[in-house]
Chains A and B, each alone.
Chain A
Amino acid sequence: MDTLILVIIGLVAGPVIGGLVAGLDRRVTAWFQSRQGPPIMQAFYDVAKLLGKEKMVVNQWQVLCAWVYLIAAAVSVALFFAQGDLLLIFFVQAIGAVFLVMGAMAAKSPYSQVGAQRELMQILAYEPVLILVFVGFYLTTGSFSIEAVWQLDQPLLAKMPLLYLALGYALTIKLRKSPFDFSTSHHGHQELVKGVLTEYSGPYLALVEIAHWYETVLVLGLCALFWTTNVAWMAVLLIGTYMLEILVDNTMARMTWRWMLKRVWLLGMGMSVVNLIWLYAG
């Protein structure tokens, strides 16, 4: 029963928090750039507007893929709130990632095709890092289930600092922020073209947007697990991490997939492996 309540909280709170984070993100970014920026609720207005638009599609697969992306993202957040198995949550999340790519590939548009291929490269970069982070959880708590994390008496960050940094890489990629935002990057001359998202429009783009909010909550939730012993410190960790993400997003140029793959596999996985060796030795 408790689990069911948690699941419902997750399903409802997911998009609300995700949307607010997106709004705050834009405000802080504007502040960095000495602009005023849109209201914090702007992300919700945007999605509401998209939902009201006329339905236009290139083909039926996009409708299917947008929905499946949303459903998988929501289910993974629900599983997270239900204190489920971290690896399973990750694999369910991967359903959404794969369907987003396949939907983009279904359209005969060069932009969405290129975006899809790049999105695959992003998945290739962050997946092994995430799995290794979960292995770190397993080595520390003896289980892949989130329940076990709450029973720790000292924050995970103390044992897995490098894995947290590696998770930061994955977070930047997953949130599609610079320098790793090339799968949804704007095409040189047309502000409206957006890589993997090019052919999703109107209500279907809204679905993709809401799914992205769920994913934001999921990755922030993962970060939160690193400090479960104290709510205040957890908040500090989350705010600090997200601020850093925004800072990185605004100060870094967009890079190529080759740069990302080498960087993340060498540095991200390198740090993970070093940290894992500590845990194995400990």
Chain B
Amino acid sequence: MSNLLLLLILLPVAAGAICYFVRSSAVRTLTVVATAAILTLASLGLLGQGTFEPVTVGSFLGISSDLLLTVLDFALLGVIYYYGVKNKSLLIQGFTLAQAVLLAWFEIVVLDHGTVPALVGDQLSLIMVLIVSIIGSLICIFAIPYMKEHEDHLKLKKSRQPRFFLFMLLFLGAMNGLVLSNNLLWMFFFFEVTSLCSFQLIGHDGTAIAKHNAVRALWMNAVGGLAFVLGIIFVYSQMNTVDLSVVLANGPQGALMLTGLGFLCVAGFVKAAQVPFQSWLLGAMIAPTPVSALLHSSTMVKAGVYMVLRFAPGYVDTFLSTGIAICGAFTFVACAALCIGQSNGKKILAYSTVSNLGLIICCAGINTPLAITAAVMLIIFHAISKSLLFLCVGTIEQAIGSRDIEDMRGLYAKFPRTAMITLIGILTMLLPPFGVLMAKWMAIEAASSNIYVIIMLAMGSALTVVYWARWGGSLMASREADAPAEEQATLIRMPLVALCGGAVVLSVAAPWIYNSMLAPMFQAPPFTVSLGSLDAATGSFGVVPLFIVLGLGVVYAAKAASGFRKAKVMPPYAGGANVVGDNDGAYVGPMNGTVPFTASNMYLGELFAEGKLTPVFNALAGALIVLMLGGAL
């Protein structure tokens, strides 16, 4: 058991080091692919062995692992402080110094250094390990050809890929460590490693704007780190332990512990880029696309929601819980509104990620078995679909040189394969019977007992439809009968097809995923599964029946559509003056000139302008967080 755990955490670190020190592209490719394969197998192996009680990790070379970790912790804070000095950021320096001082005081004066089991594997951790190890690995594989092309484009003298893959792989190890931690101090260490990795990766290209955004990400996450340290101290002062399973075992225990959990959740909010902390994640869009995919699907932001969800048993049925639900719901609707005003594909994905994370946090706050099920389902399916969409945007960007959805109009004509995969990705985010929508359905049913939350979810849900539907529609276009087939590198196509297939197949398998992995989490599971349908007292979702009926329908429709050349293919209507022989919507304009077809989506600037709404939303969200913490005190 322990070997498998160490493999999951340390192998990516070792592989990252190989990538960094052995500067050969063949070795790098081999290392990344092999690591991906081993991580995937190891995570499945861990799943096969099932959940396990907290385990202690022995000593390395005679030094106890707890002491080793403490040393590493301060070394890490030192490194972050160094980057604060190097980038002349007083914010980073200040927040890091505060963390270091508080942590030193805590470790030296307050903490009673007993043995605390370091790692634990419950259902939630195992699911997270699968997401990190499998989806993260696929993204790393995608990054191999992507980064080569990226660097060819930048015409670098010296490749920065060794450094890039070091942090990508290190990220995976740190995430596995974070989700398996049982000791809060261990969790804190891995939490800080992910902050450092994201800083390095966001600033990877080394441009002024990249550096600026990386620094912002680091100081914001340092705020999260500070909240984390405060959280540990508060929790310890009530519970006298940093053993997470002990802390959470008996539910809420007094104001100090709740305040501590409140601070830990704020740390999660920062990591999950909840309003008002969303700007670091938006800024992170400057990074190469595989980084965005990694941050948004299987690492970083998922660490944030994981923490909120992890602590949920500790604040169940408290005001803090309601506060978290309202904060999450607010982020859900606010970021969906901000998303409407965007035409930049990566920004749409970023806002929709934050919006969905808000929904996950909202579910954690509602804190009923049904809501927790919704949250975990959302984590799983959002990770798959969102990583897929980011990789699609990366592929499209390298093909057409733009990430604007207006420039993706009619993508199908030239890049049918990529366009189809992107379209399927969008549909899996938006429509039933796919997993994300199923989780959203659960979330709405779970939220119906709270009027504030349900109003925000209803509005957010409608806003979501607009930005996905118009993007999906933009991709469609006519394709010439003799147009050449699209070419894709194998290492690009493999992750895209795997994720696309995964999004669909796992959606069909949702009832079984629920039965085998989620239902054991609860004493009273919210659903019963019969004939592939999830049934609860409040309603039912026939996953498999819907897939069969709608699937057969779509197959029939696709077959009808594939025979469209038998029908008469006509130019679109242009007010009676099409250009003769042109099927592209061009019409005869003034002076008998040809006016080409142009169109643009409505972005509702007067209602949903980013610049206008962001300060308002930030202020409101800040107030809500104060309300949430104040209630815990």
A residues sitting closer than 8 Å to B (CB atoms) are 54-61, 63-64, 67-68, 71-72, 75, 84-88, 91-92, 94-95, 97-98, 101-113, 116-117, 120-121, 123-125, 127-128, 131-132, 135, 138-139, 142-145, 190, 193, 198-199, 261, 265, 269, 273, 276-277, 280
**Closest Cβ neighbor of B570 among chain A residues:** A56
The answer to whether B476 touches A98 (Cβ under 8 A) is no
The answer to whether A68 touches B554 (Cβ under 8 A) is yes
**Which one, B192-200, B216-224, B537-545, is touching chain A?**
B537-545
The answer to whether B478 touches A58 (Cβ under 8 A) is yes
A95 to chain B, nearest CB (A): 5
Specify which of A109, A132, A142 is in contact with B538 (CB 8 Å cutoff). Answer: A142
Specify which of B470, B558, B597 is in contact with A110 (CB 8 Å cutoff). Answer: B597
A178 to B561, CA, bound (A): 33
Tell whether A87 pairs with B441 under 8 Å between CB atoms, given A61-B476, A71-B554: yes
B residues sitting closer than 8 Å to A (CB atoms) are 410, 412, 430-432, 437, 441, 444-445, 448, 451, 454-455, 457-459, 461-463, 465-466, 468-470, 472-474, 476-479, 537-542, 546, 549-550, 553-554, 556-558, 560-562, 564, 566-576, 583-585, 597, 599, 601-602, 607
The answer to whether B432 touches A58 (Cβ under 8 A) is no
Specify which of B461, B463, B474, B550 is in contact with A72 (CB 8 Å cutoff). Answer: B550
A102 to chain B, nearest CB (A): 4
The answer to whether B444 touches A98 (Cβ under 8 A) is no
Q: Which residues of A contact B469 (CB under 8 A)?
A: 98, 101-102, 120, 123
Listed from nearest, the 5 A-B pairs whose CB atoms lie closest are A105-B473, A108-B585, A67-B557, A127-B462, A55-B567
User: How many cross-chain pairs have Cβ atoms below 8 Å apart between A and B?
Assistant: 213
The answer to whether B478 touches A85 (Cβ under 8 A) is no
Tell whether A88 pairs with B462 under 8 Å between CB atoms, given A56-B570, A58-B571, A269-B455: no
The answer to whether A135 touches B448 (Cβ under 8 A) is yes
Q: Which residues of A contact B459 (CB under 8 A)?
A: 128, 265, 269
Q: Which residues of A contact B466 (CB under 8 A)?
A: 120-121, 123-124
Give the dominant DSSP class at B's interface: helix
**Closest Cβ neighbor of A130 among chain B residues:** B458
The answer to whether B540 touches A58 (Cβ under 8 A) is no
A277 to B451, CA, bound (A): 8
Choose among B541, B566, B573 the residue with the greatest number of A CB atoms under 10 Å from its CB.
B573
The answer to whether B462 touches A123 (Cβ under 8 A) is yes
Choose among A60, A72, A84 the residue with the greatest number of B CB atoms under 10 Å from its CB.
A60
The answer to whether B451 touches A54 (Cβ under 8 A) is no
Q: Which residues of B contact A273 (CB under 8 A)?
A: 451, 455
Q: Which residues of B contact A125 (CB under 8 A)?
A: 462
A87 to B468, CA, bound (A): 20
**Closest Cβ neighbor of A187 among chain B residues:** B575
The answer to whether B473 touches A63 (Cβ under 8 A) is no
- 26 pairs, A vs B, C-beta closer than 8 Å: A57-B568, A59-B569, A63-B564, A86-B539, A92-B432, A95-B431, A98-B430, A98-B465, A107-B585, A108-B410, A108-B584, A108-B599, A109-B572, A109-B574, A113-B599, A124-B463, A127-B461, A127-B462, A131-B462, A143-B537, A143-B538, A143-B539, A145-B540, A190-B575, A190-B576, A280-B451
A59 to B561, CA, bound (A): 9
A276 to B575, CA, bound (A): 48
The answer to whether A127 touches B458 (Cβ under 8 A) is yes
A193 to B410, CA, bound (A): 23
Tell whether A64 pairs with B448 under 8 Å between CB atoms, given A85-B540, A92-B432, A110-B574: no
Tell whether A64 pairs with B458 under 8 Å between CB atoms, given A85-B540, A101-B473, A135-B448: no
The answer to whether A135 touches B454 (Cβ under 8 A) is yes
A110 to B600, CA, bound (A): 9
The answer to whether B473 touches A94 (Cβ under 8 A) is no
The answer to whether B472 touches A102 (Cβ under 8 A) is yes
A138 to B557, CA, bound (A): 35
**Closest Cβ neighbor of A125 among chain B residues:** B462
Q: Which residues of A contact B553 (CB under 8 A)?
A: 67-68, 71-72, 75
Specify which of B432, B562, B568, B583 is in contact with A88 (CB 8 Å cutoff). Answer: B432
**Closest Cβ neighbor of B606 among chain A residues:** A258
Choose among B437, B566, B567, B583 the residue with the greatest number of A CB atoms under 10 Å from its CB.
B567
Choose among B476, B477, B583 the residue with the greatest number of A CB atoms under 10 Å from its CB.
B476
**Closest Cβ neighbor of A199 among chain B residues:** B572
Q: Which residues of A contact B463 (CB under 8 A)?
A: 124
A112 to B574, CA, bound (A): 10
The answer to whether B567 touches A98 (Cβ under 8 A) is no
Q: Which residues of B contact A85 (CB under 8 A)?
A: 539-541
B511 to chain A, nearest CB (A): 14
Q: Which residues of B contact A145 (CB under 8 A)?
A: 538-540
The answer to whether B465 touches A127 (Cβ under 8 A) is yes
A58 to B576, CA, bound (A): 15
**Closest Cβ neighbor of A144 among chain B residues:** B539
Tell whether A105 pairs with B462 under 8 Å between CB atoms, given A67-B561, A88-B441: no
Q: A61-B476, A94-B431, A120-B602 are in contact. List 6 more A-B contacts (CB 8 A).
A: A88-B432, A95-B550, A102-B476, A104-B473, A124-B463, A128-B462
The answer to whether B557 touches A64 (Cβ under 8 A) is yes
Tell whether A131 pairs with B444 under 8 Å between CB atoms, given A107-B572, A109-B572: yes
The answer to whether B539 touches A116 (Cβ under 8 A) is no
**Closest Cβ neighbor of B586 among chain A residues:** A108
Q: Which residues of B contact A63 (CB under 8 A)?
A: 557, 560-561, 564, 567
**Closest Cβ neighbor of B474 among chain A residues:** A105
Q: Which residues of A contact B607 (CB under 8 A)?
A: 261
The answer to whether B541 touches A88 (Cβ under 8 A) is yes
Tell whether A57 pairs with B569 under 8 Å between CB atoms, given A101-B473, A108-B599, A124-B463: yes
The answer to whether B570 touches A58 (Cβ under 8 A) is yes
A54 to B474, CA, bound (A): 27
Q: Which residues of A contact B478 (CB under 8 A)?
A: 58-60
Q: Which residues of A contact B465 (CB under 8 A)?
A: 94, 97-98, 120, 123-124, 127
The answer to whether B470 touches A91 (Cβ under 8 A) is no
The answer to whether A138 touches B569 (Cβ under 8 A) is no
A278 to B115, CA, bound (A): 54
The answer to whether A135 touches B458 (Cβ under 8 A) is yes
A102 to B479, CA, bound (A): 16
Tell whether A106 pairs with B455 under 8 Å between CB atoms, given A58-B571, A120-B465, A198-B573: no
Specify which of A67, A68, A87, A110 is in contact with B599 (CB 8 Å cutoff). Answer: A110
